[in-house]
Amino acid sequence: MTPFIFLDLDDTVFHSLRKAPTGKVLKAAAHTRDGRVVSFFSEQQLAFLELMQGHMKVIVTTARNSDALSRVRFRFDGVAIVSYGGLILDEGGNPDACWSDRIATQLEAQGDDLPDLFDHLESCARALDPGLRVQIVVDHELALYVVVKHRDADNLSLSRFSHDVVMGSELIRCKYRVHLNDNNLAILPRWLDKAHAVRYLQGIYRQQHADAVFFGMGDSLSDRDYLQLCDYALIPSGSQLHRSVFSKGLSDV
Ligand SMILES: [Mg+2]
């Protein structure tokens, strides 16, 4: 068997301090551009990550762009899917040219509506709650999607913004899909999905390894589609996806 695991990062193998397990030893997992550590591994998470890295080909499958991935304090030495599938990086950190061509074609077909969308969302955010932060996620000069967060992780404010402003936009309803998980609101072109990149890589790996077995691990509803492409799915307990799958709780045993 040649095992591969498509592995989400944030809230799957590490957490922000706000969501990190209490009373446990924590280790730095990722930092901001100015060097502030904002994400942490528990010892258990780090041990599990090392276990996976030791026995499987780990393919990072993340919404982080290449720059944000470079600020994760764990050495991943394999292929990585970044920016929700907008880019695939090879072992050397260079974009897969064939995949980038496909994305460039999609971006061209989409037209140049992202700057206008950003302006609209930012002006609404400023008027509603100055704590809201709107950003276009750019990777290797490709403007791919919009993310909105709240400076103080005010989930109620972010949820209201999603409902009243984002879902109120006809452009977004027609051409984008919206994903809200905790303090992260992503507005993604419909063609941008981790699952497309996973399917592409699985096609390559199946040709190279007749005995390929695919695992997927992710915490979020936006990870569900790529997990369904895998032979086995791992979902962190207590995560958004876990709550969705196991919403009924334990039956009497
Ligand atoms: Mg995640």
**Vertex 68, ends 65 and 73: CA angle to 5°?**
135
Using the mean position of ligand 1's atoms as its centre, give its distance from the Cα of residue 218 in Å: 6
More confident residue, 158 or 77: 158
> Residue ranges per domain, the chain?
2-104+193-245, 109-189
pLDDT at site 99: 98
pLDDT at 250 over 80: no
The pLDDT of 23-39, averaged and rounded, is 92
More confident residue, 131 or 17: 131
Q: How far apart are CA 227 and CA 233, in angstroms?
A: 6
Q: Give the pTM.
A: 0.94
CB-CB contact of 205 with 190 (8 Å): no
The pLDDT of 235-249, averaged and rounded, is 89
pLDDT at site 15: 92
Local confidence band at 212 (pLDDT 50, 70, 90 cut-offs): very high
| Residues in a beta bridge with 31 | 37
Q: What is the pLDDT of residues 167-195, one digit of tens each?
A: 999 989 999 999 999 999 999 999 999 99
CATH for the 2-104+193-245 domain, from 3.30.70.2740, 3.40.190.10, 3.40.50.1000, 1.20.58.220: 3.40.50.1000
Main-chain dihedrals φ then ψ at residue 206, nearest 5 degrees = -65, -35
pLDDT at site 205: 98
Q: What is the pLDDT of residues 119-128, one digit of tens each?
A: 999 999 999 9
Please tell me the CATH code under which domain 109-189 is placed. Answer: 3.30.70
| Sheet of strand 212-217: strand arrangement | 87-89, 80-82, 57-61, 2-7, 212-217, 232-234
pLDDT at 249 over 80: no
- What is the percent of the chain with per-residue pLDDT over 90, rounded to a whole number? 89
Using the mean position of ligand 1's atoms as its centre, give its distance from the Cα of residue 253 in Å: 31
Q: What is the pLDDT of residues 55-113, one digit of tens each?
A: 999 999 999 999 999 999 999 989 999 999 999 999 999 999 999 999 999 999 988 88
Using the mean position of ligand 1's atoms as its centre, give its distance from the Cα of residue 116 in Å: 28
pLDDT at 154 over 90: yes
Using the mean position of ligand 1's atoms as its centre, give its distance from the Cα of residue 11 in Å: 5
Q: What is the mean pLDDT of the chain?
A: 94
β 142-150/184-189 pair status: antiparallel
Using the mean position of ligand 1's atoms as its centre, give its distance from the Cα of residue 99 in Å: 22
pLDDT at site 224: 96
pLDDT at 48 over 70: yes
Local confidence band at 19 (pLDDT 50, 70, 90 cut-offs): confident
pLDDT at 219 over 90: yes
Query: Positive or negative CA dihedral for 76, 49, 56, 138?
Result: negative
Using the mean position of ligand 1's atoms as its centre, give its distance from the Cα of residue 217 in Å: 9
CB-CB contact of 1 with 9 (8 Å): no
Using the mean position of ligand 1's atoms as its centre, give its distance from the Cα of residue 79 in Å: 18
pLDDT at 253 over 70: no
Residue 157: its H or E element:
helix 155-161
pLDDT at site 201: 98
Using the mean position of ligand 1's atoms as its centre, give its distance from the Cα of residue 222 in Å: 8
Q: Which of helix, strand or coil describes residue 225? A: helix
Residue type, 96: D
Using the mean position of ligand 1's atoms as its centre, give its distance from the Cα of residue 12 in Å: 5
